[in-house]
Amino acid sequence: MQQTLAVDEAPPFKPRRRIGRPAFGTLLFLLYIFLLAPLLIVFVIAFESNQYLSFPPQGFTLKWFEMLPSESIFVDGMKVTLVVAASVTVIVLAIGVPAALALDRYEFKGKGALHAFFLSPLLVPSIVLALGLVLILTPLGLTNTYEGIIIGHVAITFPFVVRTTLMSLTTADTSCEAAARILGAGAWTVFRRITLPLIRSGVIAGGIIAFIVSFDEAVISLFVAGSGLPTLPVQIFQYVSNSADAAVAALSVVLILISLGVVVVVERVMGLRKAL
Amino acid sequence: MTVLPQLAPLRKVNPVNSANTVGSSKLSIVDLTKRYAPGLEPAVDRLCMDVEEGHLVALLGPSGCGKTTTLRMVAGLMDPTAGSIVVDGKDITQTPVNKRGMGMVFQSYALFPHMDVAQNVAFGLQMRKVPSGEQAKRVNAALEMVKLAHLSKRKVRELSGGQQQRIALARALVVEPTLLLLDEPLSNLDAKLRETMRSEIRSIQQRTKATTLFVTHDQDEALDMADRIAVMNGGLIEQYDTPAMVYERPTTRFVADFIGQANFLTAQVLSENGQAADGERYYKVEVGGLGRYSAVGAPGLAGSSREIVIRPHRLRASLHPRPGDDAIAGTIERVSYTGDTIAFAVRVGDRRLLAQSMTSSADMPRTGDAAYLSWEAADAFLLPGHIRGSGT
Amino acid sequence: MTAPTETQQLMSVRAGVLPGALEKAKAARDRRTYLLLLLPAILGLFATFLLPLGYMVKMSFDRGAPDGVIESAFTLDSYVRALSDPYYWQVIWNTFQMGIIVGVLCVLVSYPIALFLVRTRSRFRGLLMAVAVAPLLTSAIVRTYGWMVILGSNGLVNSSLHSMGLIDAPLKLTNNMTGVEIGLVEIFMPYAILTMVSGFGRLSSQLEEAAGSLGANGFQVFARITLPLSLPGVLASFLMVFVLTISTFVTPTLLGGGTVQVLATEIYDQTTGVLNWPFAAALSVILLALFGAIIAVYQRLTRKIGG
């Protein structure tokens, strides 16, 4: 028991901390390993000459990567995915940035509700939205088309653009816009020359996240265009459901590296934690 | 109700033109009112004010007094509920912000972070479609004026607070604005730098002869820099006058209290006691329970009840009363030494008065001493307003 | 110019603008601007989000025949079927149970990381934060695939245990609920960490040091200070993971290998296999109801904690 006499000395819990610290550090290390395990393992198999994993690894090979360009399903899937993700990004930025601007710079009734509505697609299971999309796209003949997948990805990517743009807007100094107006700039000039440059980081981060969410999306794409125009994630999903050879691992490595590049860019542009 | 500025010229004050001379004013604000929502107290209430060409006028008051709202309405950043703003005889109340041709320095400076110094300063010229050759010349001249021409290619965030503030000033002045508006421009600087910038802004303002409206809550700034001070409170101007008048001859208790320190004594004005300088009169007054003393004030106060204002540095605290002086006996509660001055808190009955002296003397009382407070009749000023339900 | 003329001029000027007129004009201009700015987004979300969901709810009241024929109707048939068949009760229960288990485990493994990230003053904090949330931006399919390799009967875990002589026959870690849950715990960890880090705002090491200096031991500091202060963040991240878990489709399908039946997989089967769209829609509405229920419970809980 601690005696009151010990008051002058270092706080009594400090020494115990010193014992606890290595244990806590070990725990953290193990948890990080757990968190990164599937990504690390994918890297190992992608370069592993043996079809099945065993430890220690049997040998190093690049043959799985060499296979990729000849696998037409992956190449086609990649094309679909890139076209969709790029289009979705452009559309969502075009409607999301003005919406964020209205939410931040104007006062009106029902603003809170509208804000919640704009973020609500994040709360709806994508399988539920996917089903609803199939129901309305089928009569329009838009299933298995680029348009269909793009329409399907708008709602799930939109909240990210609104969120990151709003974040930049709230931190940007509004008196810069006032200063520009006083100096003679009209509304459009203020937006183009002042506001847009000030919120650049949020817009870029939102666009990148929208791109990557669309790029990785599988469920809506599967429902809307799974049979006729599969995106890369859909191809991987179907491939993995049937067999699990290491070509998928190599492809996964490619996808991880793309994502990793995006992570680095977002982190540099506005900080990953704020953006997500 | 707007209190009219005191027109009578007074002693100790440089004779200057009265503040609201109509006819030669650069800016006239007429009955300007801003109500943020129906039913709310107006933030600015039927404010009237004239600013002379080339003057620097400070809008001074506590936060929420309506000074910033007034400035933003003049700038055009906010629409008034009623009233008008007239510049050079032209009503600009309905002119959009970007067509008013004003220059403004913001509290945050509001420099464009994505442009360098020269681009910032050039922005207003670009908006005016000034040819690029002339732009460069004028930008350079403006930067020389604030002594920062060597930093023209710097990024804004690489500059210190004081440098940013000068760039903001250059950016506002380069367009030769009809009015220069300054919104608490010094509040983000540290104390030393603030003093330097004060005199620098003032000298640039005087060189460019830019008519300037300056919002501040800092009375020292206003007293130091302004040609005229409008002391605001609750959306009204309490007093609009020269710094010296505002300090020496406050028209309301609020003004006396807000500008510097003040002792207030409630007195019954007994009788006139002769002619003082500048048309004022000396009076014999009775201060409740303390005795009879002399004070000074506007004519015609005899027989009324008024408040006396005495600045602490005009009150002398000493161990022995000097013969012939008015003096109040009290007990020294606290002596505080701040280097430049020595301040005394003196208990007089249930009142606590403040006295200040520049130097220590042999006659200086210590805490607990019985001491005497004395003043000259001309330093005890009777506020013109009645004590209750009067003034504002 | 003499004083009276200017005054008259000002008077006439004043008469020109009615009180409040400028503000009203500005408000009207502003309304036009923000409506214009909001319109594309509102229309866009209406067409791609509200319309599909509304259509789905409507569809859940239609009558479906097994061969994909849909009769327009207003009937509760699909709901009655879903809620009367013990099989679907089992599916709903599986979904709910999976959500709870994954939520609890995910919070448990994420808590130490979040606590560390909030408290540490290490210069690697930014990097460790980025590493913790970066998996969010990698495909869930890729990570599920990684878990299939780790947990499979010839996978990393089984072959390691076997070569160490600890097991004879491979442990069954895939194609069942266990595998799905392990995979989901990892997949949702970044969300849990992110939510907790944002929710731990009130936590400061100063409070803990203060408690320590008052004589509390390590456990007491944790139980009396750290845990209560972090509870709102913990609850929020549990809710987040629960909601994500019960709506996930990819991982239960791949790691479950067709043996794990939850609402999401059932909706898929009804849509693509059986082609009973009204029934799939009814299951979706039930899933949304489960969502709503847990969010309502969460709000009551947080209000209790907050009060």
DSSP H helices, chain C, are 3-16, 21-45, 51-59, 77-84, 86-119, 125-133, 140-151, 156-163, 177-199, 205-213, 218-221, 227-247, 250-256, 263-268, 277-306
B302 at C interface, C-beta within 8 A: no
Q: Tell me if B111 and A176 make a contact (CB, 8 A cut-off).
A: yes
C210-267 pLDDT, tens digit per residue, is 777 777 777 787 778 888 888 888 988 898 899 889 889 999 999 988 888 999 999 9
Q: Tell me if B175 and A178 make a contact (CB, 8 A cut-off).
A: no
SS3 B310: strand
Mean pLDDT, range A234-243, rounded to an integer: 84
Mean pLDDT, range A131-156, rounded to an integer: 93
- Cα–Cα distance measured from residue B244 to residue B255, given in angstroms and rounded to the nearest whole number: 12
Q: Tell me if B81 and C6 make a contact (CB, 8 A cut-off).
A: no
The CATH code that applies to domain B261-382 is 2.40.50.140
Q: Which two structure tokens, joined as six digits, stand for C214?
A: 């008052």
Question: Over chain B, what is the mean pLDDT?
Answer: 86
> Which carries the bigger pLDDT value, residue A266 or residue B79?
B79
8 A C-beta contact, residue B17 and residue B241: no
What is the edge-to-edge ordering of all strands in the sheet holding B90-91? B44-52, B25-34, B82-87, B90-91
ipTM (interface pTM) = 0.81
DSSP H helices, chain A, are 13-46, 63-67, 72-105, 111-119, 126-140, 146-171, 174-182, 187-190, 196-198, 200-216, 219-225, 232-242, 246-269, 272-275
Contacts of A219 in chain C (CB under 8 A): 249-250
Mean pLDDT, range A127-156, rounded to an integer: 93
Dihedral sign of CA atoms B78, B84, B90, B94 in order: positive
- Cα–Cα distance measured from residue A88 to residue A178, given in angstroms and rounded to the nearest whole number: 33
Question: Over chain A, what is the mean pLDDT?
Answer: 84
- Cα–Cα distance measured from residue C131 to residue C246, given in angstroms and rounded to the nearest whole number: 26
Q: How confident is the model at residue A63 (pLDDT cuts 50, 70, 90)?
A: confident
Can you give the pLDDT at residue C7?
A: 46
Which one, of B388, B237, B392, lies nearest residue B306 by Cα?
Answer: B388
Continuous segment of H or E residues that includes residue B56 = strand B56-60
Domain residue ranges in chain C = 15-59, 77-306
Contacts of A67 (CB under 8 A, 6+ apart): A247, A250
Mean pLDDT, range A149-169, rounded to an integer: 93
Give the chain B residue whose CA is nearest to the CA of A177: B110
> Which carries the bigger pLDDT value, residue B21 or residue C67?
C67
Contacts of B102 in chain A (CB under 8 A): 182
8 A C-beta contact, residue B338 and residue B357: no
* Residue A7: pLDDT over 50: no
Cis peptide before B185 (omega within 30 of 0): no
Domain residue ranges in chain B = 25-102+177-257, 261-382
A167-207 pLDDT, tens digit per residue, is 889 888 889 999 999 999 999 999 999 999 999 888 988 89
Q: Tell me if C19 and B33 make a contact (CB, 8 A cut-off).
A: yes
Residue B281, φ and ψ in degrees, nearest 5: -120, 150
* Residue B157: pLDDT over 50: yes
8 A C-beta contact, residue C278 and residue C65: no
* Length of chain B, in residues: 392
Instruction: Decide the pairing of beta strands B56-60 and B212-216.
Output: parallel
CA distance A93 to chain B (A): 21
Note which residues in 148-207 of chain A have CB less than 8 A from chain B.
Answer: 173, 175-176, 178-186, 189, 193-194, 197-198, 200
Mean pLDDT, range B167-189, rounded to an integer: 92
8 A C-beta contact, residue C110 and residue A204: no
Residue matched to tokens 């090979």: A61
8 A C-beta contact, residue B309 and residue B342: no
Of A106, A120, A223, nearest to C271 by CB-CB distance is A223
C132 at A interface, C-beta within 8 A: yes
SS3 A24: helix
Give the chain B residue whose CA is nearest to the CA of A196: B114
B116-134 pLDDT, tens digit per residue, is 999 999 999 999 999 999 9
Can you give the pLDDT at residue C8?
A: 46
Q: Of A18-32, A111-125, B6-20, B200-214, which gets the smallest average pLDDT?
A: B6-20
Which one, of B242, B209, B251, lies nearest residue B224 by Cα?
Answer: B242
8 A C-beta contact, residue C20 and residue B81: yes
Mean pLDDT, range B168-188, rounded to an integer: 93
Can you give the pLDDT at residue A276?
A: 65
Architecture category of domain C77-306 in CATH? Orthogonal Bundle (1.10)
Q: How far is CA B317 from the centre of its chain?
A: 29
B49-106 pLDDT, tens digit per residue, is 999 999 999 999 999 899 999 999 999 999 999 999 999 999 999 999 999 999 999 9
Give the chain B residue whose CA is nearest to the CA of A184: B98
Note which residues in 95-114 of chain A have CB less than 8 A from chain C.
Answer: 95-96, 98-99, 101-102, 105-106, 108, 114
Note which residues in 134-153 of chain A have CB less than 8 A from chain C.
Answer: 134-136, 151-152
Query: B25-102+177-257 adopts what CATH topology?
Result: Rossmann fold (3.40.50)
For chain C of 307 residues, list the mean pLDDT of each consecutive stretch of 10: 44 57 89 94 96 93 77 85 91 93 95 88 82 83 89 81 82 87 94 86 71 77 81 88 90 88 90 85 90 84 68
Give the chain B residue whose CA is nearest to the CA of C10: B30
* Residue B225: pLDDT over 70: yes
* Residue B12: pLDDT over 60: no
Continuous segment of H or E residues that includes residue B114 = none
Q: Tell me chain C's radius of gyration from C-alpha atoms.
A: 29
* Residue A244: pLDDT over 70: no
**Which of B20-34, B158-172, C134-148 shows the highest mean pLDDT?**
B158-172
Give the chain A residue whose CA is nearest to the CA of B176: A183
